[in-house]
Chain A
Amino acid sequence: MDLQIALLLGQDGITNGAIYALLSLALVLVFTVTRVIFIPQGEFVAFGALTLASFQAGKTPGTLWLLIGAGVAVALVDITLALRSGVFRRIPGIVGWNLAYPALASAIVFLLKPSEFPLLAQIVLALALVVPLGPMLYRLAFQPLAEASVLVLLIVAVAVHLALVGLGLLFFGAEGSRTPAFSDASFDLGLVNVNGQTLWVVGASLLLIVVLGVFFERTIYGKALRATAMNRTGARLMGISTVMAGKLSFLLAALIGAFSGILIAPITTIYYDTGFLIGLKGFVGAIVGGLASYPIAAAGAILVGLLEAFSSFWASAFKEVIVFTLIIPVLVWRSLTTRHVEEDE
């Protein structure tokens, strides 16, 4: 292996690692706020990318039906609750978000021609369809279980994952899709040729991380999320709604997931079931960060990306064996260097 190959592998590892890092951030966020290990995170990657690809192919993405269906379900549940408890003033809001919004989205998809939109508008529309699924999922699957044990929440997350993968196959078929690159530019940096989309991925990931940082540090919602993550009961006593925090964290997770998918769709092929493996690698990063630390999670995710790139060069058939075996010592090291309160369930 010479320097050039090492650099190329490094570039590849960092590109993939950047996506894993984004996902690991989302996983850490969701876990700290809701204690859910969000296995379906990867499905948002696939849904985001495949929805965009559907627009470009002039098809109606199945995620639209899912949005409508989930909206109706949430509306039914919430309106029933509102009627039962007599809080009628909540009804317009429920109808607006869960019925009117999907209706508006359908109107755009059916009346205008998304396949003729510029790329940016297509991306926005794809995000607009996929991202609201996050809070809707939280409402339907996780909110009723907010106080359950981590194990039960995990198993529910697995069930959601199964259902979403099934829906993905139904909506998008078994074959994959790629989308056109954001830019065809490529830059010659002496030894290595860096292509534009790689820069997009890394740049957009960094930007998103910074934006999230500002969001957590500067905005009232970000602070509310951090407060909930640190101390759920305390946050509730201070008037922060855990339901709001849960929905918000799922919204952000869905946004990060779908956006990641849209970022990598030009450099790889995305399938209905791609998400699980990508999500798993993000999960590795998140765990290396102890499901608590954002920077360590991101570093762990980049490490996974690099490990993967180099091991696929050395012994591609044993790539997963190498990556996951090497993860174990890292885990042992992390486990021994972090103080743990064993008694916490």
Chain B
Amino acid sequence: MRPRLLLAGFLGLLLIAPRVVSEFHVTLLNYIGLYAIVALGLVLLTGVGGLTSFGQAAFVGLGAYTTAYLSTAQNLPGWCVALGGSPWIGLLAGIVVTTLVAFVLGLLTLRLSGHYLPLGTIAWGISLYFLFGNLEFLGGHTGMSGIPALSLLGFELRESRSFYYVIWAVVLVAVWLTQNLLDSREGRAIRALKGGVVMAEAMGVDTARSKVAVFLIAALFASVSGWLYAHLQRFVNPTPFGLHIGIEYLFMAVVGGSAHVWGALVGAGVITILKQWLQDWLPRLLGASGNFEMIVFGVMMIFVLQRARDGLWPILTRFVPRRAAKRELPHGALLPKKAAPEFGEVLLEAKNVFKRFGGLVANNNMSLTVRAGEVMALIGPNGAGKSTMFNCVSGVDSATEGEVLFRGEVVSALNSREIARLGMSRTFQHVRLLPTMTVLENVAIGGHLRGSKGVLPAMLHLERGEEASLLAEAARQIVRVGLRDSMFELAGSLALGQQRTLEIARALCADPCLLLLDEPAAGLRYLEKEALAELLRKLRGEGMGILLVEHDMDFVMGLADRVVVMEFGEKIAEGLPEEVQCDPAVVEAYLGGVD
């Protein structure tokens, strides 16, 4: 209950602030609100999505210039004369313009991977800045004045105190939308962008689409902030939209805590107020001459980040007793299941698969089949090419040559997302999960394809029914694999063996008919292995096909129906477990030859 009280207190303070603090502090709060909206977009984009952008100031500029132009232009061209005059039309136009521009820029720059992305944002950030400055109809470098004040229900919001409520209403709505989004199916997909792209794609998440979505949202937040800025300032010129300011927004997000929604507000507040204090106090402390603000500010920020590298918000929350997370099992309507294949139907058929990395042949003419209701084990010494084969089959990587059929359909050319949609689900040899999300949320990513509600319903929380079903399904799978006690813990806090089990639950959450398990028993204790074997037998009994890569011979031999043995990328044996065990080639491969 305590955090909720704090939130109520915060809202109460916000409400009465303009009545109790001085005029100038209201002005400061207004600026903090404007910055916080942009920083919030950056939290989503950079802190959560892992996409660093230096160019947000340019989007602020787009919003500001669009409304400035429309509300001041004297002779608009005929077709858009109806758009002139009203700030509210300016807001709509700003949103449209920003969406278009951000969409084009996003298509271009989000293709950039790694360090190319931040530079891409710098590039268009600078381009837009100089464009604003050199377009005569936008007032050039000198700027445009005479932008009307905002009016709401007939009231002109000229005063800082009245404008304050508009700004902070927007801030709170933005916070609400962002929090809603993060707490949803789409939100989990976005949270997977940072460090979980391969996994998310394998679970059917269209990560490229998620990237564009966060990019657009962040751009629109920035644009709305720009719209407010233009009508607060009633003057625009290019300087507030340059690269330096873009960097400053990023600064706010990081100092506040870039992975936290409230961090944006803290960052915007701390930096704005700190600068103000320095401006007030430094001249008194150091004498009037010289300009020490920037120097002291820089040095202070270095200290802050050294003490709080995750930003200030996590430190603040340390003083608040954490609300005990909801512990009850989620409830929701059952999700529809795909029709299960017939027992014995051939699910997976790999024919003469080759995979070459340059001169290295990792898979050499590999073939195998998996049927519904059987456990097929793929074994072999380290470096035999088992995981490569796995990646080729599941679409994480593509085979150089050969054909992979899944349920009779050629899937060799499909990517992992499309294959996942067909009913194949997998785990990874090196565990790929999102350590800062709970076990429940991690498993729910597996159910991504079983939901359909998009970003907008998520932001407005109109998808609660579907969300409850997804979480309930995830919870069922967690209980099924035996992780019930850890359901609400952070995935990163689990032991390695449990993390592997989590991956199985996540794969099951997708309602697959074929399960690809890459060394699921590694790191498990004896009893856990027993339980795992029991689970797999049960799944087999339900008609699931299971392809298993494993080192643990006891585990494999006790479980598998058929075994394929690989060495140096080639198949050296295939058959029933007991046959394979006696095969001389296999014995030689494992024991290094018996002379």
Direct A–B contact in complex, judged by CB atoms less than 8 Å apart: yes
Q: A320, B116: Cβ atoms under 8 Å? A: no
Q: B309, A334: Cβ atoms under 8 Å? A: no
* Complex interface: stretch among A95-103, A119-127, A156-164, A183-191: A156-164
Q: A324, B127: Cβ atoms under 8 Å? A: yes
Chain B CB within 10 A, most for which of A317, A318, A327: A327
- Given A151-B254, A317-B134, also A156-B108 (CB < 8 A): no
Q: B298, A318: Cβ atoms under 8 Å? A: no
* Complex interface: stretch among B20-28, B194-202, B222-230, B545-553: B194-202
Which residues on B sit within 8 Å (CB–CB) of A149? 309
Which residues on A sit within 8 Å (CB–CB) of B255? 155
- Given A159-B305, A161-B298, A328-B124, also A345-B195 (CB < 8 A): yes
Which residues on A sit within 8 Å (CB–CB) of B124? 324-325, 328
- In the complex, whether A2 has a CB less than 8 A from a CB of chain B is no
Which residues on A sit within 8 Å (CB–CB) of B501? none
Bound complex: CA of A338 vs CA of B197, how far in Å?
A: 17
- In the complex, whether A87 has a CB less than 8 A from a CB of chain B is no
Which residues on B sit within 8 Å (CB–CB) of A319? 130
Q: A331, B298: Cβ atoms under 8 Å? A: no
Name the interface residues of B154-205: CB closer than 8 Å to any CB of A. Answer: 194-198
Bound complex: CA of A97 vs CA of B401, how far in Å?
A: 62
- In the complex, whether A340 has a CB less than 8 A from a CB of chain B is yes
Q: A318, B254: Cβ atoms under 8 Å? A: no
Binary interface profile of A, 328-345, with partner B (CB < 8 Å = 1, else 0)? 100110111010101101
Q: B302, A156: Cβ atoms under 8 Å? A: yes
Of A155, A170, A280, A335, the residue contacting B112 (CB under 8 A) is A335
- In the complex, whether B113 has a CB less than 8 A from a CB of chain A is yes
Name the interface residues of A141-179: CB closer than 8 Å to any CB of B. Answer: 141, 144-145, 148-149, 151-152, 154-156, 158-167, 169-170
Looking at the assembled complex, report how far the CB atom of B492 sits from the nearest CB atom of chain A, in whole angstroms.
13
- In the complex, whether A108 has a CB less than 8 A from a CB of chain B is no
Q: A280, B130: Cβ atoms under 8 Å? A: no
Q: A155, B251: Cβ atoms under 8 Å? A: yes
Of B195, B250, B291, B297, the residue contacting A169 (CB under 8 A) is B291
Q: B291, A163: Cβ atoms under 8 Å? A: no
Size class of the contact patch on chain A: 35 or more
Q: B295, A166: Cβ atoms under 8 Å? A: yes
- In the complex, whether A284 has a CB less than 8 A from a CB of chain B is yes
Q: A170, B290: Cβ atoms under 8 Å? A: yes
Name the interface residues of B114-138: CB closer than 8 Å to any CB of A. Answer: 114-116, 118-120, 122-124, 126-127, 129-131, 134
- Given A158-B247, A345-B195, also A340-B114 (CB < 8 A): yes
Which residues on A sit within 8 Å (CB–CB) of B250? 155, 158
Q: B302, A280: Cβ atoms under 8 Å? A: no
Q: A343, B196: Cβ atoms under 8 Å? A: yes
Looking at the assembled complex, report how far the CB atom of A307 sits from the nearest CB atom of chain B, in whole angstroms.
12
Q: A343, B195: Cβ atoms under 8 Å? A: yes
Of A280, A340, A342, the residue contacting B122 (CB under 8 A) is A280
Which residues on A sit within 8 Å (CB–CB) of B306? 141, 144-145, 156
Which residues on B sit within 8 Å (CB–CB) of A154? 52
- In the complex, whether B258 has a CB less than 8 A from a CB of chain A is yes
Bound complex: CA of A324 vs CA of B109, how far in Å?
A: 13
Which residues on A sit within 8 Å (CB–CB) of B126? 320-321, 324
- In the complex, whether B292 has a CB less than 8 A from a CB of chain A is yes
Q: A160, B114: Cβ atoms under 8 Å? A: no
Q: B251, A321: Cβ atoms under 8 Å? A: no
Q: A290, B115: Cβ atoms under 8 Å? A: yes
Looking at the assembled complex, report how far the CB atom of B192 sits from the nearest CB atom of chain A, in whole angstroms.
11
- In the complex, whether B432 has a CB less than 8 A from a CB of chain A is yes
Bound complex: CA of A141 vs CA of B131, how far in Å?
A: 36
Of B109, B118, B129, B297, the residue contacting A162 (CB under 8 A) is B297
Name the interface residues of B255-293: CB closer than 8 Å to any CB of A. Answer: 255, 258, 290-293
Bound complex: CA of A317 vs CA of B294, how far in Å?
A: 30
Q: A335, B302: Cβ atoms under 8 Å? A: no
- In the complex, whether B356 has a CB less than 8 A from a CB of chain A is no
- Given A145-B305, A332-B112, A345-B194, also A170-B123 (CB < 8 A): no
Bound complex: CA of A152 vs CA of B306, how far in Å?
A: 9
Bound complex: CA of A342 vs CA of B302, how far in Å?
A: 29
Bound complex: CA of A158 vs CA of B254, how far in Å?
A: 12
Q: A155, B123: Cβ atoms under 8 Å? A: no
Bound complex: CA of A280 vs CA of B123, how far in Å?
A: 10
- In the complex, whether B460 has a CB less than 8 A from a CB of chain A is no
- In the complex, whether A310 has a CB less than 8 A from a CB of chain B is no
Of B123, B131, B302, the residue contacting A159 (CB under 8 A) is B302
Looking at the assembled complex, report how far the CB atom of A213 sits from the nearest CB atom of chain B, in whole angstroms.
23
Which residues on B sit within 8 Å (CB–CB) of A290? 114-116
- Given A158-B247, A342-B198, A343-B198, also A148-B123 (CB < 8 A): no
- In the complex, whether A259 has a CB less than 8 A from a CB of chain B is no
- In the complex, whether B111 has a CB less than 8 A from a CB of chain A is yes
Bound complex: CA of A153 vs CA of B251, how far in Å?
A: 11
Bound complex: CA of A343 vs CA of B50, how far in Å?
A: 11
Bound complex: CA of A16 vs CA of B131, how far in Å?
A: 24
Bound complex: CA of A324 vs CA of B295, how far in Å?
A: 30
Bound complex: CA of A336 vs CA of B364, how far in Å?
A: 28
- Chain B, residue nearest A140 (CB): B302
- Chain A, residue nearest B298 (CB): A163
Of A145, A170, A283, A291, the residue contacting B292 (CB under 8 A) is A170
- In the complex, whether B299 has a CB less than 8 A from a CB of chain A is yes
Bound complex: CA of A320 vs CA of B131, how far in Å?
A: 9
- In the complex, whether A287 has a CB less than 8 A from a CB of chain B is yes
Bound complex: CA of A154 vs CA of B118, how far in Å?
A: 11
Bound complex: CA of A248 vs CA of B252, how far in Å?
A: 31
Bound complex: CA of A338 vs CA of B123, how far in Å?
A: 20
Which residues on B sit within 8 Å (CB–CB) of A332? 108, 111-112, 116
- Given A335-B116, A345-B194, also A156-B123 (CB < 8 A): no
Bound complex: CA of A331 vs CA of B124, how far in Å?
A: 12
- Given A152-B309, A166-B295, A335-B111, also A324-B123 (CB < 8 A): yes
Of A152, A155, A328, A342, the residue contacting B120 (CB under 8 A) is A328
Chain A CB within 10 A, most for which of B111, B115, B130, B197: B115
Binary interface profile of B, 15-55, with partner A (CB < 8 Å = 1, else 0)? 00000000000000000000000000000001000101000
Of A151, A161, A165, the residue contacting B52 (CB under 8 A) is A151
Which residues on A sit within 8 Å (CB–CB) of B295? 162-163, 166-167, 170
Which residues on A sit within 8 Å (CB–CB) of B254? 151-152, 155
Which residues on A sit within 8 Å (CB–CB) of B119? 283-284, 287, 327, 331
Bound complex: CA of A342 vs CA of B116, how far in Å?
A: 12
Looking at the assembled complex, report how far the CB atom of B330 sits from the nearest CB atom of chain A, in whole angstroms.
29
- Chain A, residue nearest B432 (CB): A343
Which residues on A sit within 8 Å (CB–CB) of B290? 170
- In the complex, whether B301 has a CB less than 8 A from a CB of chain A is yes
Which residues on B sit within 8 Å (CB–CB) of A167? 295
Looking at the assembled complex, report how far the CB atom of B42 sits from the nearest CB atom of chain A, in whole angstroms.
11
Bound complex: CA of A148 vs CA of B119, how far in Å?
A: 21
Looking at the assembled complex, report how far the CB atom of A285 sits from the nearest CB atom of chain B, in whole angstroms.
10
Q: A170, B291: Cβ atoms under 8 Å? A: yes
Which residues on A sit within 8 Å (CB–CB) of B247? 158
Q: B130, A318: Cβ atoms under 8 Å? A: yes
- Chain A, residue nearest B244 (CB): A276
- Chain B, residue nearest A174 (CB): B291
Looking at the assembled complex, report how far the CB atom of B398 sits from the nearest CB atom of chain A, in whole angstroms.
14
Chain B CB within 10 A, most for which of A145, A158, A290, A334: A158
- A-side residues, CB < 8 A to B, are 140-141, 144-145, 148-149, 151-152, 154-156, 158-167, 169-170, 280, 283-284, 287, 290-291, 317-321, 324-325, 327-328, 331-332, 334-336, 338, 340, 342-343, 345
Closest 8 CB pairs of A and B: A163-B298, A166-B294, A166-B295, A162-B298, A159-B301, A324-B123, A287-B119, A340-B113
12 contacts between A and B (CB under 8 A): A152-B309, A154-B52, A163-B295, A169-B294, A170-B295, A280-B122, A290-B116, A318-B131, A331-B123, A335-B113, A343-B198, A343-B432
User: Assuming A320-B126, A321-B126, what are 8 further A-B pairs, CB within 8 angstroms?
Assistant: A155-B254, A156-B301, A165-B294, A170-B290, A287-B119, A325-B127, A332-B111, A343-B197
